């Protein structure tokens, strides 16, 4: 469910109190661990964290007018979604990256509710189901320059036919 809000504050104001509290708590963890090469923005109808054009002028290959998306946070109809795109750069169709393996293992070790994750999307309903320290570490582990390098490697591999997955 995409929002028409044009600012993060406006987006948060549209949420019911319970949802806003969850989104704000996750947002606080992201912001506390976010590399300075990223910027918080509204992107694709949700709170986004992206590499701005002043850091990566080429932008997102699917829409170069957009900054390169790194993460997204949204209140959906039945859950909260956290998109961590950096986890999946370099995945082959039947393999996971070391980052995804680390993330799944760290989530399991945290002893919270079982991870509900598809590709880069983590879904949850309650804040107590989320190991916030794992979210923070996942964000911290991917500084903007590393993210850009992996993004460019993925594009190059896809262009050369070495990867069957689109980035």
Domain definitions of the chain by residue range:
8-159
Low-confidence ranges of the chain (pLDDT < 50): 161-167
Q: How much is the pLDDT for 159?
A: 76
Q: What is the CATH number of domain 8-159?
A: 3.90.1150.200
Q: How much is the pLDDT for 146?
A: 95
Q: How much is the pLDDT for 167?
A: 42
| CA proximity to 112, closest of 91, 94, 128 | 128
pTM: 0.89
Question: What is the per-residue pLDDT across 124-154, written as a single tens digit (0 to 9) for each?
Answer: 999 999 999 999 999 999 999 999 999 998 8
Q: How much is the pLDDT for 93?
A: 58
Residue 134 to residue 118: CA distance in whole angstroms: 17
């Amino acid at each position: 469910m995409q929002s028409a809000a044009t600012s993060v504050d406006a987006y948060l104001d549209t949420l019911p109190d319970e949802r806003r509290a969850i989104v704000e708590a996750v947002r606080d963890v992201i912001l506390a661990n976010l590399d300075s090469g990223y910027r918080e923005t509204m992107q694709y109808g949700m709170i986004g964290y992206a590499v701005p054009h002043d850091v990566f002028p080429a932008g997102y290959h699917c829409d170069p007018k957009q900054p390169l998306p790194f993460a997204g946070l949204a209140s959906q109809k039945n859950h909260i979604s956290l998109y961590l795109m950096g986890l999946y750069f370099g995945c082959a169709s039947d393999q996971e990256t070391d980052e995804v393996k680390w993330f799944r293992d760290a989530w399991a070790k945290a002893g919270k509710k079982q991870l509900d994750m598809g590709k880069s999307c983590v879904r949850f309903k309650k804040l107590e189901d989320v190991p916030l320290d794992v979210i923070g570490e996942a964000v911290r582990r991917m500084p903007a320059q590393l993210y850009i390098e992996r993004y460019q490697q993925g594009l190059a591999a896809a262009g050369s036919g070495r990867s069957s997955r689109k980035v």
